[in-house]
Structure 1
């Protein structure tokens, strides 16, 4: 990145939809360097009035569901309908594995070369909080650049699905027809996040099993308390490979958006997400400050050793760490707190 960054040029380039400036702007918001963070916030403040109109859709799926093929097929269908599609990813494992979305980008053969689409590899911030922060800010850039559909893919495991759900309007869960228990492999928490479910690979000999799986999932959803009383998550079948069922699925995703808009839930949901995100950033910054505090770094190794030896309880260790963070611990590890 050049030492001198022209924010005015970045803003105009993004608003003009120039791909090079969009890429540079996202690189800037992904940077963890202090001087870049200041510039990134200046950029985002200028772009924010031009963002917010896009459909924000999160996509998660069980292993082997064919997410890349699905996103490629859905995105290509949408660009064919006149939409501009951005694909982002939340993958906290990317810094350790080299980033699976990089491979996904090469597998999204049509979208990768579609002038109406922009596929962005996952940032390598290393932590879920860091990656989610960069992705949220990238959404602002993409929307300001005129992308009216933003697909946010959850690649990692654990809490990444929740992180994605907290930055989108509609959360789509992809699954497969399975022998026996159709709910196998779907975490209950993820099922509760879903605004729509699609059973992929409903083609050839698997089509009948896919429809059976859809019926079973629909029955399971009826036993759960809906997140929104005005919306019952639909369960549909599709085949990304054959591009069948995608138009019906998109219609239902659009229906969900209309329900959110007509009930006022869309604006309220986004406001709530901003409040939640504010506190999440406060927590992340506090933890970063705690871990990097000189007194804490000096104290931590001995406390950890004493905990392992069983000579110090976790509660007392936590109190000493917090005391050090607040400046109430002396220079010697394990020292008492001051009055």
Structure 2
């Protein structure tokens, strides 16, 4: 494999991808971080090298359990992930956390708060926490998150936890790249349902009523019973699986083992029935189709003339000088010329 220049302004040193691949597969977190940075690079040369690098690692990927995690504001997603991740590490699993961070629409910078909030988990030798800026992509999910997940699997991580920003369509995007989807809520199912879209609940394989401790514990158990009743009337997200609700306290470390046992049962049942593999295959095809759309859009607007025409037509539509269909006709007639 041809070496490439490092993607940094401070050095002209060469990155040896063959050595990087060996180090990554040996479990080096430094090598994994470098590989992810390469994958996220926008430089055309880096992109080509990254895809070749990723292709060579594909045979070593796909062996983890991918768990998506979302939740209502204040539900304590990061607190849960840290406690859950520590439990899994204590069991001997290697755990990767991809925390999808919001990106500033002005600066393009990422808050990257999850790495500082998960102070204990990042100290675990069997854990890898990678904040990933959304870069303004649809639903807040970084377009490279799927490839990052494959790199983590090739590096030997058994469990990949993907945290969503919990807004917009990010839940649907993360559901489309994970095996098991967890929804974190708080006590008071009736109140929560007022602000929760039914569609989000339909994505969940399990619902966690979080912060089930202290004076809040009895109410949390009552909320779990309410959710259990509600789930009977919702179309399951996974064929052959009945979603359930569980009370969890990350503060007291209660309910975490029950969550993992549930995921183990889910994994066993869906692999035996073939649903697990079928979902993975479907996700790969959907990823390919959505990528085709992304490439077509990027190529279409790479032409400066098309960008200019687009602005002109937008103004004409805004002023009601053209209908939307008329503007589209002009835009795509121009594209054929």
C-alpha distance in 1, partners of 2:29/2:265? 31
Structure 1 residues 212 and 129: alpha-carbon distance in aligned structure 2, compared to 1, 3 A threshold: closer
Are 1:324 and 2:331 counterparts? no
Deviation at 1:125, TM superposition (A): 3.1
C-alpha distance in 2, partners of 1:117/1:90? 17
Are 1:189 and 2:199 counterparts? yes
Render the CA deviation track for 1:141-160: whole Å, top value 9, x for unaligned: 10111110100111152111
Are 1:246 and 2:250 counterparts? no
Deviation at 1:180, TM superposition (A): 4.5
C-alpha distance in 1, partners of 2:104/2:91? 32
2:213 is aligned, of 198, 203, 225, to: 203
Counterpart in the other structure of 2:319 = 309
Deviation at 1:86, TM superposition (A): 0.3
Are 1:29 and 2:45 counterparts? no
Are 1:62 and 2:72 counterparts? yes
C-alpha distance in 2, partners of 1:112/1:311? 57
Are 1:223 and 2:229 counterparts? no
Q: TM-score under structure 2 normalisation?
A: 0.92
C-alpha distance in 2, partners of 1:32/1:192? 35
C-alpha distance in 2, partners of 1:241/1:320? 60
Are 1:84 and 2:94 counterparts? yes
1:152 is aligned, of 145, 162, 167, to: 162
Structure 1 residues 57 and 95: alpha-carbon distance in aligned structure 2, compared to 1, 3 A threshold: farther
Contact kept, 8 Å, 1:10 with 1:43, in 2: the verdict is no
Counterpart in the other structure of 2:290 = 280
Q: Which consecutive residues of structure 1, in runs of 5 or more, have no partner in the other structure?
A: 329-339
- Determine helix, strand or coil for the equivalent of 2:49: helix
Structure 1 residues 179 and 79: alpha-carbon distance in aligned structure 2, compared to 1, 3 A threshold: closer
Render the CA deviation track for 1:299-318: whole Å, top value 9, x for unaligned: 12221111111111111111
Are 1:271 and 2:288 counterparts? no
- Determine helix, strand or coil for the equivalent of 1:138: helix
Deviation at 1:250, TM superposition (A): 0.8
Deviation at 1:213, TM superposition (A): 1.3
C-alpha distance in 2, partners of 1:204/1:224? 31
Structure 1 residues 281 and 174: alpha-carbon distance in aligned structure 2, compared to 1, 3 A threshold: same
Deviation at 1:323, TM superposition (A): 2.1
C-alpha distance in 1, partners of 2:190/2:84? 29
Deviation at 1:129, TM superposition (A): 7.9
Counterpart in the other structure of 1:13 = 23
C-alpha distance in 1, partners of 2:114/2:143? 21
- Determine helix, strand or coil for the equivalent of 1:288: helix
Task: Tell me how many residue pairs correspond in the alignment.
Answer: 326
Deviation at 1:94, TM superposition (A): 5.4
Render the CA deviation track for 1:282-332: whole Å, top value 9, x for unaligned: 011111222332221121222111111111111111111222233x2xxxx
Are 1:53 and 2:63 counterparts? yes
Contact kept, 8 Å, 2:205 with 2:236, in 1: the verdict is no
Structure 1 residues 94 and 151: alpha-carbon distance in aligned structure 2, compared to 1, 3 A threshold: farther
Contact kept, 8 Å, 1:236 with 1:249, in 2: the verdict is yes
Render the CA deviation track for 1:219-273: whole Å, top value 9, x for unaligned: 1111122233411001101011111110011100111111111101111111110
C-alpha distance in 2, partners of 1:124/1:165? 16
The CA RMSD measured in Å over matched residues stands at 1.8
Contact kept, 8 Å, 1:90 with 1:164, in 2: the verdict is no
2:183 is aligned, of 167, 173, 176, to: 173
Q: TM-score under structure 1 normalisation?
A: 0.91
Counterpart in the other structure of 1:99 = 110
Deviation at 1:35, TM superposition (A): 1.0
Structure 1 residues 65 and 98: alpha-carbon distance in aligned structure 2, compared to 1, 3 A threshold: farther
